[in-house]
Amino acid sequence: MPVEIERKFLVVGEGWRQAALGPPMPIRQGYVVDGAGAGMTVRVRRSGERAWLTLKSPGLLSRAEFEYPIPAADAEALLAGHCVSPPLAKHRTRVRHGGLVWEVDEFEGRLAGLVLAEVELSEAGQEVALPEWVGAEVTQDARFQNAALARADSVPVPQAR
């Protein structure tokens, strides 16, 4: 069973821009099933001419993930009329730091101003060298999962620790 293990952080600086591995990629994604009842999420994502359907089990740091390419036209049809909340729009930039590739997402629309960085790991306890441009870790804050962000009216405020 494929497993996704990732940590997520708020981005607090612009230093990641100099380390970008290429130009930002526009992404639109929506949720056919958003997991709000603690079940699987079913996400449709479109980036350029490519599109995917992804199923994810509940979880924050680690969860099962199944991803399948689908025709771009099918993704557009799902995004246009079959999502349970408005699709998210963001630009993703890949950045190398500490031997890992980070994904930095700049959100648009009602979530404008939110910038999140995610790093995928091979195991939950893997050591990660944090770049200077990340701030608070929000891995364990379910409000920062993309399915929850799709339901949000505005950018969530991180919980004080």
Residues 12-39 pLDDT 10s: 999 999 999 999 999 999 999 988 777 8
Catalytic residue ranges: 31
Closest C-alpha to 97, from 2, 9, 4:
9
Q: Give residue 158's identity as a one-letter amino acid code.
A: P
The answer on pLDDT for 161 being more than 70 is: no
Q: Give residue 16's identity as a one-letter amino acid code.
A: W
In the beta sheet, which residues pair with residue 44? 30, 53
Question: What's this model's pTM, rounded to 2 decimal places?
Answer: 0.93
Q: Which CATH architecture has domain 3-151?
A: Beta Barrel (2.40)
- Please report, for the chain, the start and end positions of each structural domain, with discontinuous segments joined by +: 3-151
Confidence at residue 159, expressed as pLDDT on a 0 to 100 scale: 75
Confidence at residue 88, expressed as pLDDT on a 0 to 100 scale: 97
